[in-house]
């Protein structure tokens, strides 16, 4: 064979073997991680606003999503935590924060609301989650997205979750405070949280948690002791966030699921049996309250809803009030978060108490919750005091945990204590009337409600 013929033969043979050993790129099966790469352009993608495509973020996005794809069955029916670096920062071990609860962390550092929307189907919906806890939006602000665009993406995220399961609880956290120095000014965060609240207002499937005031200082920026870099919480910050979420998850039936037994001290009688609302009910709305509601709602478009009760209603042997606002569960009398954001309602004992007495109970509030304890029709404010006031300087208040209230009524005057600290030293009360709990904003729980009547 001539040299040039030999060369041509070898070249042809090489090309033939190469085509057999190494398929063309378009013929090769897609690598698993390729499914989870960030799309190169925005065309055809849902939502609006920024999608991050920095090299570090591309790698993190694909690495975490590829890892999750391998454990879909393991994470099926978990409670999903969904968000960005703040969510990712929880880590994977939740045994200290939420004992016994199966949780799947679907946070990606640096993600935006549109990024969450794009990956929602494979990262979240594929798990058929029992519930979703969502915190997203701060990185959108850094990328100069306006609050309206971010809120529109949130609306699409919530709609997709609801379409998957019309009964699955959605817990929406307010965007945390940060700082102007982090390109996340307080004014924009406040605006975004207002839009978030408006987006889910009236939606009973969504519980809106006021996590912004939980971490904001007087200027509306993050508290450095809990957010050292003014963006990410430290362990103290995560502990505070967990304490704010635990009561919500308990009410949804994911935590504290065992019956709670309580035996009052000698001389005291339980007003709440821990199992149902026997002995409690609605009383007709007073003329004074009707007038207050009318004036408030006429002058303020953001005034609270204030349903009018026309006739007495007893809830004996029932585990919830007729509208579901008041619920008895595992030793707790729960005043649930109203879908409207604010709704004024009272649940009272069906019995009146004309004699002097000592009332003792414990309460637990979600962030910025506003409730009230009524003593013969006079209200003693019961709130998440450090945030919602009016008693902001209590030294022994326990955020997200149980606090003790003791009210002593003698000769028409009530003294109220919280964990031994004075709330009201001499509050005048009517000669007789029921004990009541009010709902307004957020969730409030009461337990160990007992009374000792004096001769």
- The model's pLDDT over 87-97, given as tens digits with 9 standing for 90+, comes to 999 999 999 99
Q: What is the mean pLDDT of residues 147-159?
A: 98
Give residue for tokens 């029709």.
377
The answer to whether the bond into 155 is cis (omega within 30° of 0) is no
Sign of the CA dihedral with 393 first, then 394, 397, and 400 last: negative
Per-residue model confidence (pLDDT) at position 453 = 98
Pairwise CA distance, residues 26 & 21, whole Å: 14
Q: How many CA atoms lie within 13 A of 238 on its CB side?
A: 15
User: Is the per-residue pLDDT at 213 higher than 50?
Assistant: yes
Query: What are the backbone angles phi and psi of residue 122, rounded to the nearest 5°?
Result: -80, -35
Q: What percent of the chain has pLDDT over 90?
A: 91
Q: What is the mean pLDDT of residues 163-178?
A: 98
User: Is the per-residue pLDDT at 63 higher than 70?
Assistant: yes
| List of long-range contacts for 321-327, beta carbons under 8 Å, 24+ apart | 321/277, 321/282, 321/347, 322/282, 325/439, 326/277, 326/280, 326/437, 326/439, 327/251
**Domains and their CATH numbers in the chain:** 34-251 (3.40.50.1110), 269-453 (2.60.120.560)
- The model's pLDDT over 13-27, given as tens digits with 9 standing for 90+, comes to 444 344 444 443 333
User: Is the per-residue pLDDT at 181 higher than 50?
Assistant: yes
User: Is the per-residue pLDDT at 28 higher than 60?
Assistant: no
Sign of the CA dihedral with 141 first, then 145, 147, and 150 last: negative
Q: How confident is the model at residue 35 (pLDDT cuts 50, 70, 90)?
A: confident
- The model's pLDDT over 257-275, given as tens digits with 9 standing for 90+, comes to 999 999 999 999 999 999 9
Give residue for tokens 């002097």.
356
Pairwise CA distance, residues 152 & 262, whole Å: 47
Q: What is the mean pLDDT of residues 431-447?
A: 98
What stretches of 258-404 show up as alpha helix (H) in DSSP? Answer: 287-299, 385-388
Sign of the CA dihedral with 404 first, then 405, 410, and 413 last: positive
- The model's pLDDT over 113-130, given as tens digits with 9 standing for 90+, comes to 999 999 999 999 999 999
Q: What is the DSSP letter of 214?
A: H
Q: What is the mean pLDDT of residues 381-391?
A: 98
- The model's pLDDT over 298-310, given as tens digits with 9 standing for 90+, comes to 999 999 999 999 9
Closest CA to 280 of 375, 327, 348, 333: 348
Cα angle value 373/376/377 (rounded, 5°): 70
* Beta carbons of 159 and 54 less than 8 angstroms apart: no
Per-residue model confidence (pLDDT) at position 455 = 86
Sign of the CA dihedral with 53 first, then 55, 58, and 61 last: negative
Rg (CA), the chain: 28
List all residues 6 or more positions away from 142 whose beta carbon is below 8 Å from its beta carbon.
Answer: 182, 183, 184
446 strand-pairing partners: 333, 363
* Beta carbons of 52 and 114 less than 8 angstroms apart: no
Per-residue model confidence (pLDDT) at position 405 = 98
- The model's pLDDT over 334-358, given as tens digits with 9 standing for 90+, comes to 999 999 999 999 999 999 999 999 9
Per-residue model confidence (pLDDT) at position 18 = 43
Per-residue model confidence (pLDDT) at position 15 = 40
* Beta carbons of 434 and 350 less than 8 angstroms apart: yes
Closest CA to 51 of 133, 178, 150, 170: 150
Mean pLDDT of all residues in the chain? Answer: 93
């Amino acid at each position: 064979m001539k040299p040039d013929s030999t060369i041509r033969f070898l070249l042809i043979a090489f090309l033939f073997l190469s085509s057999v050993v190494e398929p063309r790129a378009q013929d090769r099966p897609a690598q698993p991680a390729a499914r989870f790469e960030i799309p190169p352009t925005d065309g055809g993608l849902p939502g609006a606003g920024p999608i991050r495509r920095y090299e570090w973020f591309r790698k993190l996005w694909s690495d975490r999503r590829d890892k999750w794809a391998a454990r879909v069955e393991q994470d099926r029916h978990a409670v999903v935590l969904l968000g960005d670096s703040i969510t990712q920062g929880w880590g994977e071990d939740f045994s200290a924060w939420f004992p016994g609860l199966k949780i799947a962390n679907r946070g990606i550092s640096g993600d935006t609301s549109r990024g969450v929307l794009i990956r929602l189907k494979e990262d979240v919906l594929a798990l058929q989650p029992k519930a979703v806890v969502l915190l997203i939006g701060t990185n959108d602000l850094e990328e100069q997205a306006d609050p309206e665009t971010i809120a529109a993406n949130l609306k699409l995220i919530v709609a997709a979750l609801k379409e998957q399961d019309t009964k699955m609880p959605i817990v929406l956290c307010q965007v945390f405070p940060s700082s102007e120095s982090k390109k996340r000014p307080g004014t924009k965060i406040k605006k975004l949280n207002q839009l978030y609240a408006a987006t889910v207002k009236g939606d009973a499937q969504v519980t809106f948690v006021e996590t912004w005031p939980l971490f904001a200082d007087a200027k509306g920026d993050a508290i450095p002791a809990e957010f050292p870099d003014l963006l990410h919480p430290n362990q103290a910050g995560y502990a505070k966030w967990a304490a704010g979420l635990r009561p919500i998850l308990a009410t949804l039936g994911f935590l504290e699921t065992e019956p709670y037994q309580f035996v009052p001290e000698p001389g005291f009688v339980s007003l709440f049996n821990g199992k149902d609302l026997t002995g409690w009910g609605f009383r007709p709305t007073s003329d004074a309250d009707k007038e207050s509601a009318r004036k408030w709602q006429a002058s303020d478009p953001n005034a609270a809803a204030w349903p009018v009760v026309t006739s007495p209603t007893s809830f004996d042997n029932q585990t919830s009030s007729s509208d579901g606002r008041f619920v008895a569960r595992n030793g707790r009398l729960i005043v649930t978060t109203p879908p409207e954001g604010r709704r004024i309602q009272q649940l009272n004992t069906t019995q009146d108490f004309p004699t002097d007495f000592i009332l003792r109970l414990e309460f637990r509030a979600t962030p910025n919750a506003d409730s009230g304890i009524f003593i013969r029709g006079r209200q003693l404010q019961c709130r998440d005091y450090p945030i919602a006031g009016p008693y902001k300087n209590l030294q022994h208040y326990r955020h997200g945990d149980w606090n003790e209230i003791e009210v002593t009524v003698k000769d028409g005057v009530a003294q109220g204590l919280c964990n031994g600290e004075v709330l009201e030293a001499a509050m005048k009360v009517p000669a007789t009337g029921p004990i009541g709990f009010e709902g307004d904003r957020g969730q409030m729980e009461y337990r160990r409600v007992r009374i000792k009547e004096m001769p």
